[in-house]
Amino acid sequence: MLRWSLLLLLPTWAFAAPIGRAPESRIPDKLWTEKPVGRTGISNNSPVTMGGFSRLAKLISPAVVNISTVGSGTPGSREGPSGALVTGEGTGFFIHASGYLLTNDHVIDGARDITVRTANDRVFKARVVGRDPRTDLALLQVDSRGPFPIAPLGDSGRISPGEWVVAIGNPFGLSHTVTAGIVSAIGRSEVQPTGKPMLASFIQTDASINPGNSGGPLCNIRGEVIGINTAIRGDAQGIGFAIPSNMAKKLLPQLATGRVERSFLGLAFREVTPELAKVLKLERVAGAVVTEVGAGSPADQAGLRPGDVLTSFDGQPVRAASDLPWLAAQAGVHAKVAVELIRDGKTQSVQVQLQALPRPLEMVEPPRLVPSVAAQTTLPLGGLGATVADLTPDLRKRFSILATVGALVVAVDRGGPADHAGLRVGDVVTRIARRAVNRAALLEAEVRAARPDDVLSLLVPRGKQSIWLTPTRAR
């Protein structure tokens, strides 16, 4: 099991009284700068030297701050004794001369008092302007007009694995520590360090980052911030993760208003596996396979179907299923976007009119059935080690089954192909490959027609989502 650590440092518990919020101020038209001011640390054509890293540190360090917080105990990282307030430390950096700065949301989560200390030991109180737990970003403003030194935001879309980067922060409360390394990987969408679903596509780096580095900048050799340091692997050394700067740029206009609004596509999906690629006759193991389309959703209105493989969204490639949530969420409420997909082996494009993201639906586990109380007419799925029956209205009502049509699984042989693939009693198979299943006999015929060692693709709804299971037919 992977263990993740957010980079917030939480050293002590304290008891304190809350303070009032700083007065609101006018939000600048643009909150960040995109080009370094003055000389850069290292040019693209010059060799990397220790002197170059030193110049980088001198350029960026004045904009980096230590953030100290006092806040109420929460169920997460700030948990403390009853009635206690918990202190914590993290990092942030100025992006606007008037005192706006970026940090991680988990640095200020639950904070009632936020103190910012600059590199030259100036101390200010700060207020939260906007926050977004789903991307772990927060925008703060200090209670002074400045001007403050700023760190420019670079283009994280231009970075490649192997490029030099520098991380600056306050690990373990040690102010303005500078470490260097390389970009180890990009597009780490599968990383979920908070344990909750996040909209992120992290930059992975081996530049040393530690607790207390949360919210600090990850800079390229030109002195531009291309990431916001966020998490480390708790059971490994030399692996850290940063939120791409382009993600921050996309969210900053909304963070400045204090509210983040996301767009909604309205479908469930899963990764393309080699087995699914074979069943769906795909040339590449890439994209996101649609498993369910919400009734009346933008995806439904655009004609998307289960079994479609999404390969591009709004001009951006969908290389993996984990790419899709961020692409769909940030495209814009009411935006009309082009979606490229593969259906029945053919590539096509559809236009989707997005909506505002509704409240999340609760996940519901499928009912547990006892084979002896299932339908009287059952059919064995030869070669899979499972038995199915027609899904009748009586069975749907009796066992609170959400699916309306399909083949109800009433028995699964322990150790058989269906068992190994994850099929279980109480599942309802609604589709085999690209063909809809409206009765048990159709599913049985499709399985019987398959050859030994063929990989079958079964769509099974579970709660409010659906998954593809890929058992291999036995000989």
The residues assigned a catalytic role are 106, 136, 214
Q: Is the dihedral of CA 441, 444, 445, 446 positive or negative?
A: positive
Q: How many CB atoms are closer than 10 A to CB 190?
A: 13
Distance separating alpha carbons of residues 208 and 50, to the nearest angstrom: 16
CA distances from 328 to 178, 342, 352 (A): 36, 18, 10
* AA letter at 293: V
Tokens of 66: 């230590």
Q: Enumerate residues 6+ apart whose C-beta is below 8 A from 122.
A: none
* Helix, coil or strand: residue 117: strand
Q: Which helix (H) or strand (E) holds 163?
A: none
Amino acid at 475: R
DSSP string, 334-363: T-EEEEEEEETTEEEEEEEE-EE--PPPPP
Considering only CA atoms, which of 328, 318, 322 is closest in space to residue 354?
328
Q: Is 342 helix (H, G, I), strand (E, B) or coil?
A: strand
